[in-house]
Chain A
């Protein structure tokens, strides 16, 4: 049995019939960390809300742990854990009260499943008497994760848990997810940060409600179709403008300290270097590189 299965799942909003989720089909295996990778407005939250039975689909089917998201909504609600993108705990209850509340609602106690949250909870335990609304962003996030875990869910849905979080805290958060996976919990997580995609077992790249690709991160980068080069020069902005005017290149864009430029086939590197120098650029460096997930995503978006 698949942990999660979507079959042409569709969601349409409003009078204008905006298609937020467009016939999305995918499966998540048990014990897998599955990433939904895409920008704001891609449809990630709508998918999560349908899978957690908070929103009815307008087409297609989906199941979680074999339960149908429409017919068996009550079962699903008792077995899954959901951490929404927006902080949704009770701001007027303390840290401990929030956790106790969620445990009680799910018919369990903090003690029974403490082993699942221990690693995370110890980091916020010294604030256990503080009201949740008064916590910093990172602590709110940790508490929300504890509350989503306290009933030992079979599948954990995390909607953009790391958006707006600094790189150090993001790294720590992903380490927590790995430990949860080791305890057998299936995790479906969404993120707009492309670098986090490589931390998932498999990912779906999604944009405007449509799946662009579903694969392991490694297979996605391996299937990048073009030749990709990283180029550097003293003046980055001039380099970007010069590259975008170079009509032999398929695409070019900034990428950290380099510009990435892609070609349909292998090129003579010296010709490109000469062209850049001719245009007055100095300090030109050039090397062929392997594509990252972000390169693949850009390539798919431009199609």
Chain B
């Protein structure tokens, strides 16, 4: 039996009469790359915020790395990494300073931070940029650095919200190499994307429509179930019927 690190049971969030996330039930395994897809407005961000312990569910249940989303949100935050679609490192700090800052926030010791910084800079090939301000780096580097900072404290799960939007095709693939490598180390990757070719890189994906998970399986199986030749087609078949959002 594989370890389940994210487990939800009828997880729901209401804003007044509006049911943003409607009774979603699913599980994600340790070391899995899980793609969380859906049209704009389908409820992905709301769901993700609950899973990260940032928003209290209206009903239902979920455990993240074994911790309850109602009562143990601080424990959840210590055990996950998060990379938002908006660049959130400090542009006016250097690469090294950002690593040291976030390492400190996550409670790493000075020695751990030193070792981690060296490792990370070497892995990303950022030796000549280490002392440059992050704001001066090209977008592709920023994204790779953000990801590396999000997994600096070796979280059990990392949440990535549209990490590759607007990035060039070569850098996009280098980014996915980082994701694959993290998954191989046992980090669970929970990722949203609008690139359907990237959906194919996931072990399993779920597709949300109007607050509900309408499909969940491996890309191969989904294509078979929907009699489709590409994930783009699967997505289109499901999301075309969406009533709300955009």
A residues with a Cβ closer than 8 A to B are 38-42, 136-139, 141, 160, 163-171, 192-194, 207, 236-237, 240, 253-257, 294, 297-298, 301-302
Residue with the highest number of chain A CB atoms closer than 10 Å, among B38, B85, B194: B194
Output the nearest chain A residue to B168 by Cβ-Cβ distance: A39
Is B166 in contact with A301, judged by CB distance below 8 angstroms?
no
Output the nearest chain B residue to A254 by Cβ-Cβ distance: B173
Chain B residues with CB under 8 A of A164: 40, 85, 162, 165, 194
Cβ of B200 under 8 Å from chain A: yes
Which residue of A138, A171, A194, A294 contacts B40 across the interface (Cβ within 8 Å)?
A138
Is A163 in contact with B169, judged by CB distance below 8 angstroms?
no
Of the 9-residue stretches B56-64, B108-116, B152-160, B229-237, which lies at the interface with chain A? Answer: B229-237
Is A194 in contact with B169, judged by CB distance below 8 angstroms?
yes
Chain A residues with CB under 8 A of B166: 39-40, 160, 163, 192
Q: How far is the CA of A254 from the CA of B201 in the complex (A)?
A: 8
Q: How far is the CA of A255 from the CA of B183 in the complex (A)?
A: 19
Chain B residues with CB under 8 A of A141: 246
Which residue of A41, A166, A194, A301 contacts B239 across the interface (Cβ within 8 Å)?
A166
Cβ of B106 under 8 Å from chain A: no
Is A167 in contact with B230, judged by CB distance below 8 angstroms?
no
Chain B residues with CB under 8 A of A297: 168-169
Is A168 in contact with B240, judged by CB distance below 8 angstroms?
yes
Q: A136-B246, A137-B246 are in contact. Are A167 and B170 (CB under 8 A)?
A: no
Q: A167-B239, A257-B220 are in contact. Are A138 and B167 (CB under 8 A)?
A: no
Output the nearest chain A residue to B170 by Cβ-Cβ distance: A301
Task: Give min CB distance, B47 to chain A, whole Å.
Answer: 15
Residue with the highest number of chain A CB atoms closer than 10 Å, among B85, B184, B200, B230: B200
Chain A residues with CB under 8 A of B246: 136-139, 141, 165-166, 169
Is B139 in contact with A165, judged by CB distance below 8 angstroms?
no
Cβ of B171 under 8 Å from chain A: yes
Output the nearest chain A residue to B238 by Cβ-Cβ distance: A168
Is A301 in contact with B235, judged by CB distance below 8 angstroms?
no
Which residue of A137, A253, A256, A294 contacts B200 across the interface (Cβ within 8 Å)?
A256
Cβ of B196 under 8 Å from chain A: yes
Q: How far is the CA of A271 from the CA of B162 in the complex (A)?
A: 39
Chain B residues with CB under 8 A of A254: 173, 176, 197, 201
Chain B residues with CB under 8 A of A192: 165-168
Is A165 in contact with B201, judged by CB distance below 8 angstroms?
no
Chain A residues with CB under 8 A of B195: 193
Q: Which chain B residues in 133-174 approach chain A with CB under 8 Å? A: 138-140, 162, 165-171, 173
Is A138 in contact with B236, judged by CB distance below 8 angstroms?
no
Chain A residues with CB under 8 A of B171: 39
Q: How far is the CA of A42 from the CA of B167 in the complex (A)?
A: 10
Cβ of B191 under 8 Å from chain A: no
Which residue of A40, A139, A160, A167 contacts B232 across the interface (Cβ within 8 Å)?
A167
Q: How far is the CA of A296 from the CA of B40 in the complex (A)?
A: 30
Is A257 in contact with B219, judged by CB distance below 8 angstroms?
yes
Task: Give min CB distance, B215 to chain A, whole Å.
Answer: 14
The A-B contact count (CB < 8 A) is 101
Is B41 in contact with A41, judged by CB distance below 8 angstroms?
no
Is A165 in contact with B40, judged by CB distance below 8 angstroms?
yes
Cβ of B242 under 8 Å from chain A: yes
Which residue of A42, A160, A255, A298 contacts B170 across the interface (Cβ within 8 Å)?
A298
Output the nearest chain A residue to B172 by Cβ-Cβ distance: A39
Output the nearest chain B residue to A124 by Cβ-Cβ distance: B246
Is A138 in contact with B139, judged by CB distance below 8 angstroms?
no
Cβ of B245 under 8 Å from chain A: yes
Chain A residues with CB under 8 A of B236: 167-168, 171
Chain B residues with CB under 8 A of A137: 40-41, 246
Task: Give min CB distance, B217 to chain A, whole Å.
Answer: 14
Chain A residues with CB under 8 A of B184: 237
Chain A residues with CB under 8 A of B39: 166, 168-169
Is B230 in contact with A256, judged by CB distance below 8 angstroms?
yes
Cβ of B180 under 8 Å from chain A: yes
Q: A136-B246, A138-B246, A302-B170 are in contact. Are A256 and B180 (CB under 8 A)?
A: no
Q: How far is the CA of A166 from the CA of B239 in the complex (A)?
A: 9
Q: A138-B246, A139-B246 are in contact. Are A253 and B173 (CB under 8 A)?
A: yes
Chain B residues with CB under 8 A of A301: 168-170
Chain B residues with CB under 8 A of A138: 40-41, 245-246
Q: How far is the CA of A297 from the CA of B171 in the complex (A)?
A: 12
Output the nearest chain A residue to B136 by Cβ-Cβ distance: A16
Output the nearest chain B residue to A140 by Cβ-Cβ distance: B246
Is B40 in contact with A39, judged by CB distance below 8 angstroms?
no
Output the nearest chain A residue to B162 by Cβ-Cβ distance: A164
Task: Give min CB distance, B145 to chain A, whole Å.
Answer: 15
Chain A residues with CB under 8 A of B235: 166-168
Q: How far is the CA of A163 from the CA of B85 in the complex (A)?
A: 12
Chain A residues with CB under 8 A of B197: 254-256
Chain A residues with CB under 8 A of B176: 254
Q: How far is the CA of A165 from the CA of B196 in the complex (A)?
A: 12
